[in-house]
Amino acid sequence: MKAGDLVLASIPQADAQFKLRPALVLCLLPPFRDFLVCGVSTQLRHKDEGFDEIVDRGDPDFAASGLRQASLIRLGFLNAVPDTSIAGLLGSIARPRLQRLRRALANHLQSEP
């Protein structure tokens, strides 16, 4: 797995249950090599403008993403997961999209007092 890959990962939900769901790998974390991932959802209405991104059927990287329908990459739904929590690879997003998402997350982290 590498940054930009869309994977199926077991991720904790708001009710503390774990659910197998699509997630985007943002980076590898030291020292245990867990993956920092953010959840991917079909609930497009939850988009936070300027923070999250929608991968739409008309986007150049939609086919390579492995997603079945338009989906929201939710930067606010972060988790660190070990490789044992990743059930498989769906596909990947384009490098420019990954860079925009990382930049949005970094800008958000740096803007907090």
Contacts of 78 (CB under 8 A, 6+ apart): 26, 36, 37, 38
**Vertex 66: Cα angle to 51 and 15 (nearest 5):** 60
Q: What is the mean pLDDT of residues 79-96?
A: 96
Tell the residue number behind the tokens 């800008």, with chain if given: 107
- Which pair of tokens denotes residue 98? 């990954």
Which pLDDT tens digit goes with each residue over 28-73?
A: 999 999 999 999 999 999 999 989 999 999 999 999 999 999 999 9
Kindly list the structural domains of the chain, giving each domain's residue range(s) and its CATH number in brackets, ordered by start. 5-111 (2.30.30.110)
Q: Is the pLDDT of residue 13 over 90?
A: no
Provide the pairing of β-strand 18-29 with 53-55: unpaired
Global pTM reads 0.93
- Report whether 9 contacts 21 (CB < 8 A): yes
**Vertex 89: Cα angle to 86 and 71 (nearest 5):** 100
pLDDT of residue 12: 85
**Please, which pLDDT band fits residue 113 given cuts at 50, 70 and 90?**
low
Residue type at position 50: G
- Which pair of tokens denotes residue 105? 């997350």
